[in-house]
Structure 1
Amino acid sequence: MQNDEELFWQEMRDVTPMARASRVRSTAGERSRDASLQERRAAAVTEKAKDDSLLSDRDDIEGLDPWYVLDFKRPGVQNGVFRKLKQGRYEVEAVLDLHRMTVEVARREIDAFIKDSQVLGLRSVMVVHGK
């Protein structure tokens, strides 16, 4: 019995490659393509800057009751550490007060505050918000 490669070459022995058509490079519309390319690059950079934010602008998220308690614990965080954090038993290393800020300014400030806190290695920070 013949192997697959021999069978393949038997079937392909009378096949001839297709002739390639010559390609012509057109310079018509090159300026408009360059302008379009620059616009797309600028848009990509702008969109990238938007994606760097830690906060979202989603309008489809439903609001919660003001008394609803939100909490989140990453896997690996000990229950005792999480409980002490919720009880405020760790020293707060930095505070950001959002009172009298517009939503846009507050978003920028929170984003910068969290990034700066990570760079400085702060482990317990507080964001004061609402009334």
Structure 2
Amino acid sequence: MQPDDDLSLFQAQMRGVKPISHDRADTGKPKRDRARIDTLRQAATQRSETHKVDGLSDQFVIDVGAEDELYWAANGVQDGQMRKLKAGQIAFEGGLDLHGMSVEKARDTLWEFLAEATRLEIRCVRVTHGKAARTDGKRPLIKSHVNTWLRQHPQVLGFTSCLPRHGGTGALYVILKRTMLDGRDE
């Protein structure tokens, strides 16, 4: 066969064929339902707002009473340190008052406050949560949430209700981790 024969054979086979005007294949996929996609995106955004990235979850809030004394120590925290904290023998270097705040505002404010205290190498702070009874007869909202959040915070070593002169069962002494220059955390 000669090259001219190949060309004439090819042209004979292609007689009547129309060239394709576009270079995209029809995959048969249905077109996107923009309204549905927007609804799903909005729902996903709303769900992510209820679970905070900061780690302070509201999923299991420990309900506490207005006059309940609060006490918690992380694993490894010495009993002697916690006794000193409870006796008010560790001076607090900063304070935060959460009275009148919404739960969301209180969580954000507490997170920022603890981050700042950690940055400044503060050892002990006082968090005033109040103990107001709710109108629906349930236990104090902010106090219960603070009790739960502090147990989750990575910088909190322990906390206990304050002495009466510092707020009693309406406030907490909170002892924080420090990254002291010599590497010790007394």
Structures share fold, TM-score greater than 0.5: yes
| Consecutive unaligned residues in structure 1, runs of 5 or more | 1-23
Query: Does the Cα contact within 8 Å between 2:92 and 2:124 map onto a contact in 1?
Result: yes
Is 1:86 aligned with 2:86?
Answer: yes
Matched residues in 2 for 1:27 and 1:120: separation?
Answer: 61
SS at 1:26 equivalent: coil
1:51 — aligned with what?
52
Change (3 A) 1:25 1:65: same
Matched residues in 2 for 1:110 and 1:47: separation?
Answer: 20
Q: What's the TM-score once normalised by structure 2's chain length?
A: 0.43
Matched residues in 1 for 2:45 and 2:80: separation?
Answer: 45
Change (3 A) 1:127 1:27: farther
The amino acid across from 1:125 in the alignment is V
Deviates more, 1:119-128 or 1:43-52: 43-52
Tell me by how many angstroms 1:115 deviates: 2.5
Higher RCO (CA < 8 A, seq sep 6+) = 2
SS at 2:106 equivalent: helix
Query: Does the Cα contact within 8 Å between 1:98 and 1:128 map onto a contact in 2?
Result: yes
Tell me by how many angstroms 1:82 deviates: 0.9
Tell me by how many angstroms 1:84 deviates: 0.5
* Higher helix residue share: 1
* Higher strand residue share: 2
| Consecutive unaligned residues in structure 2, runs of 5 or more | 1-24, 132-186
Change (3 A) 1:49 1:114: farther
1:118 — aligned with what?
118
Is 1:67 aligned with 2:75?
Answer: no
